Amino acid sequence: MNFKTFSSLVVLVAAALPAAAGDLSASQVVHKQIVSVDADGNPVETFVAADVVAPGDTVRYMLQYRNDDAVPAEAVVLTMPVPEEMSYLDNSATTDKAQVSLSYDDGANYQFAPGTTEVVEASQYVTHVRWTFDAAIASGESGNVSFLATLK
């Protein structure tokens, strides 16, 4: 079986922010999804450190952000590429406080996916996920955005 160490799947993060929001930070956290079954036969989803992943494993890419500036961060956009070794999972991008858009052409163009990513027909072609925040991120506010992908 072809196992990969997760260090080969590092993702870049880009944040487009106005000059007044210079202290918004974003850090990436990557977890492997584990699905087990509880005593009643219901699936239970947990996430563990993604040190090693194998083909077919599902991984959650998460950006944890925080505004450490004294002023609100306006017009925040966070973008994460989907590594080419991964297939983006339809409807998996979180949308709390942000509009999700997807790129199929290495980030040259984005298509908004209001509320969900149902517009995706061929998920293996999604190259980037972008979150455009609807409102300013207040001073001291933090949160996260994420998506799921499967190792090919």
State residue 112's pLDDT score: 77
pLDDT of 4 higher than 60: no
In total, how many domains does the chain have? 1
CATH number, domain of 35, equals 2.60.40
The domain of 60 spans: 4-151
State residue 24's pLDDT score: 87
Per-residue model confidence as pLDDT tens digits over 101-151: 999 888 888 887 654 444 445 544 889 999 999 999 999 999 999 999 999
State residue 9's pLDDT score: 36
State residue 113's pLDDT score: 65
State residue 111's pLDDT score: 85
pLDDT of 44 higher than 70: yes
- Listed as own residue / partner, the contacts of 121-128 with beta carbons closer than 8 Å and 24 or more positions apart are 123/87, 123/88, 123/89, 123/90, 124/87, 124/88, 124/152, 126/82, 126/88, 126/102, 127/81, 127/82, 127/103, 128/79, 128/80, 128/81, 128/82, 128/102, 128/103
